[in-house]
Structure 1
Amino acid sequence: MPTHPEKLTKLRPITLGFREEPERPVMGLCLTVDNAVCQAPHAHPRGQLLYASHGLVRVSTPAGAWLVPPSQAVWIPPHVVHEVALPGAVTLHSLFVAEAAAAPLFDQCSVIQVSSLLREMILRAGRLGADYEPDTPADRFMRVLLDEMAQATVTEIGLPMSTEPRVKRVMDALAERPGLAFSMTELAQVACASERTLARLFVKAVGMSVGDWNRRLMVQHALTLLDAGHSVQRVAITLGYTESSSFIDMFRGVMGQAPGQFVGQRGARHGGGS
């Protein structure tokens, strides 16, 4: 079930976002936390790419709020006020991009797909850190990383979040157990509302039904598993489907194509398998 707010660890502000140093276009950071949240809404002069290689990251900005799995990352342009919450155990990678270097990237908050190549580059940037010198292999790597970020695809299956307490409790429950684990009756109990009230609140809060939101969540989780090399049959079983065909139909309904086709095309676009 969702984590109680009082049990969340308050994270101290990260200073990298405030270091100008344009000669270092990207500063990488990796940290592992459990049930954490930033102390307060904040903004910094560097842009920020937030990526959880394990777990989920919840990002809120004036433009919207998103729940992001390991198949995606969130881009926050410079000077945009945001909050970050990390429910559960999370390995978080942050790339802080100098304001001038951020200009060619996305001009608004965006959720992007993370290819296998981009994922490995993000992880390496975290290992390189922030104190490399100009015109070194690390510097050149960071500049190639910026090129790869600029080519990333903005996802069409983002998960909008809500601050409405009953809706948020349901979203947290679904996110902790992606799949067919809950019936509408059980979710209504989580929300402490009737099924009809929950259905109405959900559509009002995020513009889609509980079922549609959960299907997006399942597809995002499926993409993470498929990217890790799991078979379609194994992913279907993990998500609670007794037949792979039902999972494939659900995936096709959200993505417009079968999981095998999507992963194959994604691997071809990025020069290898997924």
Structure 2
Amino acid sequence: MNTYLHSLRRRRGKRLAHTYAQQHTGDQRVAVIGLGRFGSSLAGELMRRGWEVLGVDEDERLVQRHSETLTHVAVADCTDIEVLRQLGVHEFPSVVVAIGTDIEASILVTSNLLDDSVPNIWAKAISRQHGKILERLGAHHVVLPEHEMGERVAHLVTGRMLDFIEFDDDYALVKTVAPEVATGVPLGVSAVRTKHGVTVVGIKRPGQDFTHATAETVVAPGDVIIVTGRTEAVEAFTELS
């Protein structure tokens, strides 16, 4: 189980790195403060995508571990605004505050970055309350990887879903084995969208790659499909027989 949870943390870091990289195609520099599992996964993925990454942590062992994989590393206490300035963190277009369980440090670092007018701050929260505080401070993006991971695992354990990703505004993307109501006829005829409020956007047959779904696509029993829609609607759809 620990290996599986670690894998999910790593995948969450990769997903955030992918989102971050898509949104920022100009100055490809980022500072990651906190090199725990989440921060190191994020930093490593951004490096893989060709970004220049400064990794910072108070723990000398963590910094040493990543000294050969990141562009720059430093051992430093970033709750001190002067230390941040000496490292030149305020000159980076974007900074990720990936500090783990030390909420006070997370808040202080985020506040320091805001005082120095860093234009794009991503901050990790370990609870909804922590997230609300970061939002009120003015952090531009707040992520709750542990909470989101818990929700995701709960969906996978309790239902027919093979994968589950929830976005803002109560919208979700789900990978699932096609329920019977969606099989045997073209999607346009089964009227999945009209009847169930979801849209089938992709399909994978055994032994084949995923492909886009259209109104003419006929889903067969055992096919794996990608479905989007309101979270409640996709949850209900995946539970249909």
TM-score by length of 1: 0.22
* Higher normalized contact order (CA 8 Å, seq sep 6+, divided by chain length): 1
Rg larger for: 2
TM-score by length of 2: 0.25
